[in-house]
Amino acid sequence: MLAGDIAILVVELGANDGLRGIPTSTISDNLVTIITDAQRRNIRVLLCGMEAPPIHGLDYSIAFHFGFPTVVATTSVPLVPFLLDGIALDPAFTWPDGVHPNTAGAQRIADTVWTYLRPLL
């Protein structure tokens, strides 16, 4: 439950749901619930998209990908298409695990999000 005087909410789903194979319908339903609860309180929402690697099959990864535009169609919020675009698997922007953003990656994420966040301010 959100508390306090909140004007903008940035919602970002980590890749862990995709890595765990959480049903995409559950993910979408949860995102819609979070967003509509915020919208009822007149909170502007920015949704950040994520991708799931095909460890649960290509069909799952595709369904995961298209879940974000479906949520946007339902809630009419702006979408950062892929939060880690240009970062994931690039050693210049990730820690040695090749996944988690390093300092340069975090700055690139901030720059990406700012492009979509600024119009909400």
Examine residue 82 and state whether it is found in any structural domain, yes or no: yes
Average pLDDT over residues 55-60: 96
In this predicted model, what pLDDT tens digit does every residue of 60-87 receive, in sequence order? Answer: 999 999 999 999 999 999 999 999 999 9
Enclosing H/E stretch for 20:
helix 16-20
What does the pLDDT average to over 101-106? 96
- 32 exposed, middle or buried (CB, 10 Å; 0-12, 13-18, 19+)? middle
Contact yes or no for 75/32 (Cβ under 8 A): yes
3 occurs within a structural domain: no
CATH code for position 32: 3.40.50.1110
Tell me: the pLDDT tens digits for 7-25?
999 999 878 899 999 999 9
Average pLDDT over residues 92-98: 91
pLDDT at 1: 67
Give the residue numbers spanning the domain of 104.
8-120
**Is residue 79, in this structure, part of any structural domain at all?**
yes
pLDDT surpasses 70 at 114: yes
